[in-house]
Amino acid sequence: MAKAKEPNASDVVIIKKYANRRLYNTSKSCYVTLEHLAEMVREGEDFVVNDAKSGEDITRSVLAQIIFEEEAKGHNMLPTNFLRQLIGLYGDSLQSFVPSYLETSMNTFTKNQEEIREKVKSSFGDNPALANFETMARTNMELFDKAMRMFSPFVGTPPAGEEPPKEQPPKSGDGADLNDLKKQLAQMQEQLSKLAGD
C-alpha cells in the first residue's frame, strides 16, 4: 500500500457520479469502476467524487460503498462486533469523537505496517527465495488440501489411528519462525509422500 500523499488542489482527481451510477474520471476522460477507485486509493492517489447533477461531494458514501463491495467479496476486515459497536455510537454523545479517534488509530496502524514491511524487506531482501517462502507455503497447503479432497471425503480429518498434529508454541528469536516453517513444510512433504505411497 502506498503512503498517502498530502493532497494539494492540482493533485486531486475529480470523479463525477451520474444518475445511472456510472463514475467518470475527469482527468483521464474515461469511465471508471469502484475497483479502479479502490486501486487509486491503494496507490495513494487522491480523488473527490461529486454528484454530476448537484455537484455535491459524495466521496464518503462512495468510499463506504467500496468497503461494502470488498466485504461482500469475502475480504472481511471489519469484525461483526466492531460494526455493532460502531452502529451503537451513532447518536451517542461520543459520536463526534469517533472519527478523529479512528483516523488516529488507522494512521498509527499504517505507520507500524510500513515499519514491519521495511523490516521484512531488509531481512529477506538479499534472498528472494525466503521472501517468497510464505507464498510457496500457502500454495503447498492449497495443493495438499486439494489432494486430501481427492482421497478423502472428510476434508481435514486425519487417517484412522493418527492424531492430528499438535500446534507448536511460537518461539522467539530471528531464526525460530523460519525453523518452524521448515518443520511444517517437512511435515507436509512427509504426509504427501505417505499419500502417494498409499
**According to the model, what pLDDT value does residue 197 have?**
61
Helix %, strand %, coil % of the chain (to 5):
55, 10, 35
Q: DSSP code of 155? A: T
Q: Which residues contact 65 (CB under 8 A, 6 or more apart)?
A: 34
pTM, 2 dp: 0.52
Tallying the residues shown for the chain, one arrives at 198
> Is the distance from CB of 37 to CB of 15 less than 8 angstroms?
yes
Pairing of strands 23-25, 30-32: antiparallel
Report whether 19 contacts 52 (CB < 8 A). Answer: yes
* Four-CA torsion 81, 85, 90, 91, nearest 10 degrees: 140
Output the tens digit of pLDDT for each of the chain's 198 residues. Answer: 444 444 455 689 999 999 888 999 999 999 999 999 999 999 999 999 999 999 999 999 999 999 999 998 888 888 889 889 989 989 988 888 888 888 888 888 888 887 877 877 777 665 555 555 666 666 656 665 655 555 444 444 454 455 555 555 555 555 566 777 777 777 777 776 666 665
Instruction: Write down the pLDDT at residue 163.
Output: 56
One-letter amino acid for residue 103 of the chain:
E
The predicted structure's pLDDT at residue 45: 93
How would you classify the pairing of strands 30-32 and 13-17?
unpaired
d(CA 16, CA 57): 9
pLDDT for position 188: 74
What's residue 3's pLDDT?
44
First vs last C-alpha separation in the chain: 45
